[in-house]
């Protein structure tokens, strides 16, 4: 018998009319495992729904649109903002939520594989799994495994090692869209540890869906963006360049996206020392911020170390705390699309 949430038919029936995003490596909607699953239309629709949810479910309010839906937040790597904003979005939409972090993830300590964990929670009838894992393609592997099961839960990638973080890229792009009311023809500088940072990888993939975008990769020689991302941008006709000069990049950019050095992902102690030393030249200061165009913004996925000085926080170009707030609404939109697409369509129709 078909499982129902709020009297609605099961996911498989409801989702035949619309694909809210596409496939990646044989895994598709409702799983969200990689940035490459989205095209421009998918993204703009998601942004529109996020705007509607901002108006309809503001702070201090709650809806029952996901009543009967159980969300599992399975984080085997540390997380603060991603886990917190997922729990907030699930709660505001009325879903039941279960959360485990690294210290509580005893089954992993006992040697359970990530795919067995997915199968176990499927047996306990969870509807959505948000997972963070140290292994690249972890969410993809679990989603692929569960695809052979009847009525499997949707799997959302909350960060997979040095691989991707698509929901972070979605909230980043939504923030840019809110600020400029477009993404086409913007110049975005990505600064810091581009080799090990998954947020910039996911953001670069999504930016390729828009016209006239230019990307400036700003990093030391120890932290350059991976060739796989550059090849992808070349295939999609995106103009990109590389530099170690933050000041020059900041002066010509609409968005400066700062990142911290991912020292925990580099085992070589000499390289870690060199990364830390090189990163001193990639610090956003008040002086550099004032040289940026007045309409430009500074972003950061956080946590920050020393790459943005705290006196930049008061600059009107600093948008990173607004960026964090958007994480709740973009994740609400994702959850609603997966758990109650009929309601998502209704809200979009009302918004016109």
pLDDT at 271: 76
78-131 tens-digit pLDDT: 788 899 999 999 999 999 999 987 655 556 666 789 999 999 999 999 999 999
Check whether residue 147 and residue 282 sit in a common domain.
Answer: no
Active site residue 132: yes
- Please state, in angstroms and rounded to a whole number, the distance separating the CA atoms of residues 352 and 347: 9
Q: Which residue has the higher pLDDT, 58 or 273?
A: 58
Percent of the chain with pLDDT over 70: 91
Check whether residue 230 and residue 314 sit in a common domain.
Answer: yes
CB atoms within 10 A of CB 351: 12
Task: Kindly name the residue from 82, 187, 199, 259 that is annotated as catalytic.
Answer: 82
Q: In what order do the strands lie in the sheet with 154-160?
A: 96-100, 70-75, 128-133, 154-160
Range of the domain at 257: 166-324
Please indicate, yes or no, if residue 349 is contained in any of the structural domains: no
pLDDT at 106: 53
127-143 tens-digit pLDDT: 999 999 999 999 999 99
Q: What is the pTM of this model?
A: 0.91
Check whether residue 37 and residue 118 sit in a common domain.
Answer: yes
Check whether residue 154 and residue 39 sit in a common domain.
Answer: yes
- Please state, in angstroms and rounded to a whole number, the distance separating the CA atoms of residues 148 and 140: 13
Active site residue 82: yes
In terms of C-beta density within 10 A (0-12 exposed, 13-18 middle, 19 or more buried), how is residue 299 classed?
buried
Q: Are residues 133 and 77 in contact, defined by beta-carbon separation less than 8 angstroms?
A: yes
C-alpha pair distances (Å), 79 with each of 179, 192, 258, 301: 27, 20, 19, 12
- Please state, in angstroms and rounded to a whole number, the distance separating the CA atoms of residues 351 and 78: 37
13-45 tens-digit pLDDT: 344 446 899 999 999 999 999 999 999 999 999
pLDDT at 263: 65
Check whether residue 160 and residue 170 sit in a common domain.
Answer: no
**SS3 (DSSP) at 255:** strand
Check whether residue 145 and residue 205 sit in a common domain.
Answer: no
pLDDT at 281: 85
C-alpha pair distances (Å), 41 with each of 50, 156, 284: 14, 20, 34
Active site residue 165: yes
Residue 264 has pLDDT above 50, yes or no: yes
pLDDT at 94: 97
Percent of the chain with pLDDT over 90: 78
Task: Kindly name the residue from 42, 92, 122, 165 that is annotated as catalytic.
Answer: 165
Please indicate, yes or no, if residue 5 is contained in any of the structural domains: no
Round to the nearest angstrom and report the end-to-end CA distance of the chain: 35
pLDDT at 10: 40
Please indicate, yes or no, if residue 4 is contained in any of the structural domains: no
Check whether residue 24 and residue 140 sit in a common domain.
Answer: yes
pLDDT at 18: 64
Please indicate, yes or no, if residue 215 is contained in any of the structural domains: yes
CB atoms within 10 A of CB 293: 13
| DSSP symbols for 198-212 | HHHHHHHHHHTTSTT
- Please state, in angstroms and rounded to a whole number, the distance separating the CA atoms of residues 189 and 298: 10
pLDDT at 161: 86
Please indicate, yes or no, if residue 259 is contained in any of the structural domains: yes
Check whether residue 153 and residue 201 sit in a common domain.
Answer: no
Residue 312 has pLDDT above 70, yes or no: yes
pLDDT at 290: 98
Check whether residue 110 and residue 244 sit in a common domain.
Answer: no
Please indicate, yes or no, if residue 348 is contained in any of the structural domains: no
Check whether residue 295 and residue 274 sit in a common domain.
Answer: yes
Residue 2 has pLDDT above 50, yes or no: no
Task: Kindly name the residue from 59, 110, 148, 221 that is annotated as catalytic.
Answer: 110
Number of domains in the chain: 2
Task: Kindly name the residue from 51, 81, 214, 304 that is annotated as catalytic.
Answer: 81
pLDDT at 79: 83
**SS3 (DSSP) at 247:** helix
Per-residue tokens: 172: 């980043």
When the pLDDT of each residue in the chain is averaged and rounded to a whole number, the result is: 90
Active site residue 110: yes
Please indicate, yes or no, if residue 350 is contained in any of the structural domains: no
Task: Kindly name the residue from 122, 132, 162, 209 that is annotated as catalytic.
Answer: 132
Check whether residue 173 and residue 95 sit in a common domain.
Answer: no
Residue 248 has pLDDT above 70, yes or no: yes
pLDDT at 222: 84
pLDDT at 321: 96
Please indicate, yes or no, if residue 203 is contained in any of the structural domains: yes
Q: Calculate the CA dihedral of residues 193, 197, 199, 205 and round it to 10 degrees.
A: 90
Q: Which CATH number belongs to the domain containing residue 244 in this structure? A: 3.40.50.1370
Check whether residue 143 and residue 220 sit in a common domain.
Answer: no
Phi and psi at 239, nearest 5°, equal -80, 125
């Amino acid at each position: 018998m078909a499982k129902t949430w709020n009297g609605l038919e099961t996911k498989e029936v409801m989702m035949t009319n619309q694909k809210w995003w596409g496939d990646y490596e044989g895994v598709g909607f409702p799983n969200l495992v990689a940035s490459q699953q989205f095209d421009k239309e998918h993204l703009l629709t998601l942004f529109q729904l996020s705007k509607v949810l901002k108006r309809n479910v503001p702070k201090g309010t709650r809806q029952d649109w996901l009543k009967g839906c159980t969300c599992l937040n399975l984080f085997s790597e540390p997380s603060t903002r991603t886990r917190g904003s997922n729990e907030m979005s699930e709660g505001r939409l009325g879903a039941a939520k279960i959360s485990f972090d690294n210290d509580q993830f005893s089954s992993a300590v006992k040697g359970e594989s990530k795919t067995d964990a997915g199968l176990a929670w499927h047996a306990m009838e969870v509807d959505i799994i948000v997972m963070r894992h140290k292994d690249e393609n972890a969410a993809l592997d679990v989603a692929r495994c569960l695809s052979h099961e009847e009525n499997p839960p949707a799997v959302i990638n909350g960060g997979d090692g040095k691989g991707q973080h698509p929901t972070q890229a979605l909230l980043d792009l939504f923030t840019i869209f809110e600020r400029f009311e477009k993404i086409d023809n913007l110049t975005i500088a990505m600064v810091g540890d581009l080799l090990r940072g998954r947020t910039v990888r996911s953001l670069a993939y999504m930016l390729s869906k828009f016209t006239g975008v230019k990307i400036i990769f700003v990093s030391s020689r120890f932290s350059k963006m991976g060739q796989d991302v550059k090849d992808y941008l070349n295939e999609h006709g995106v103009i990109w360049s590389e530099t170690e000069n933050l000041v020059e990049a900041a002066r010509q950019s609409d968005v400066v996206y700062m990142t911290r050095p991912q020292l925990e992902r580099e085992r070589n102690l000499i390289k870690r020392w060199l990364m830390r030393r090189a990163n001193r030249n990639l610090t956003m200061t008040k002086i550099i911020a004032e040289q940026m165009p007045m309409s430009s913004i500074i972003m950061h996925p956080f946590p920050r170390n020393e790459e943005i000085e705290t006196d930049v926080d008061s600059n009107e170009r600093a948008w990173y705390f607004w960026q964090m707030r958007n994480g709740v609404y973009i994740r609400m939109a994702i959850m609603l699309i997966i758990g109650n697409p009929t309601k998502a369509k209704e809200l979009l129709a009302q918004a016109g």
